[in-house]
Amino acid sequence: MLIYAYYIRKRAHAIKTLILTVFCVLFIGCAEYRYDVVEFDEYPDRKDVEEWFKDEVWLKKWPLHLAAYSGDEELINILCSERVCDPNLKMTDWYNSTPLGWAASAGHLGTVKLLIKLGADPLVPPNDAGHTPLGNAIRGGRPATAKFLKDYEIEKLGSLRDVHDNFLGEEEETDFLEGHNEIDCEEIYFGIQEFLNLADQRWQRLDNEEFKNKNHADEIALEAGFFSQQAANYSQVFAALCKG
């Protein structure tokens, strides 16, 4: 475990260096650099997701949401094409969330596109937790998915906004556009700083404290690695959505 913790620590410091380099390039102009939009971490393991759904007795009740979160496009095609499930079905056991929101949270861009093709609406109002599919992608640190959904929203709302300007009153238009505001780049930026601070706090504890329980030290190292990874995820989202 200590070897693994050491590996996590080294990896986290490398991530932090990458984050600082990206910001330097994007906003200070240190060098010419092309930042490719890629997902940072791997997709969630289907077995783990199935275990979660099994524990909650959701396997038979919400198969489309499980397929969306797992990126199972073959099953999604079967469920939606044969009209077994509505692609906009709200999961009443989990904040009235939609399959599209689950796919966006996991960063399955291909699955997101497939669900939209099958009739899922990215412009649905926020779920009971206050999140749209775009918001889920941002919170999950999924830059490619977030950028796609942002571009989709701008394209669709741009034309729909014109229609509503002509035919709806101000109050009705506000209701329609609720939850589809501009991306708060400042909030994402401060999220990066917060995750970096949380990681640094844990590295400092490892440097300054003597741990009698090695498992405790390993846990702190893993937490530091997790927060560093989240900072990297948010950094990529920031680069994808805010660099312009």
d(CA 197, CA 187): 15
The two structure tokens encoding residue 171: 């109050």
Over residues 48-103, the pLDDT tens digits come to: 888 889 999 999 999 999 999 999 999 999 999 888 899 999 999 999 999 999 99
Q: What letter does residue 97 receive in the DSSP assignment?
A: B
Q: Coil, helix or strand for 59?
A: coil
For the chain, give every domain's residue range.
1-40+143-244, 42-140
As a whole number, mean pLDDT of residues 204-227 equals 83
pLDDT score recorded for residue 79: 95
Distance from first CA to last CA of the chain, Å, rounded?
Answer: 42
* Homologous superfamily in CATH for domain 42-140: Ankyrin repeat-containing domain (1.25.40.20)
Taking CA 19 as the corner, what is the angle to CA 236 and CA 140, rounded to the nearest 5 degrees? 35
Q: Which among 8, 23, 4 has a CA at the least distance from the CA of 202?
A: 8
Compute the Cα dihedral for 51, 53, 58, 61 and give only its sign.
negative
Q: What is the pTM of this model?
A: 0.65
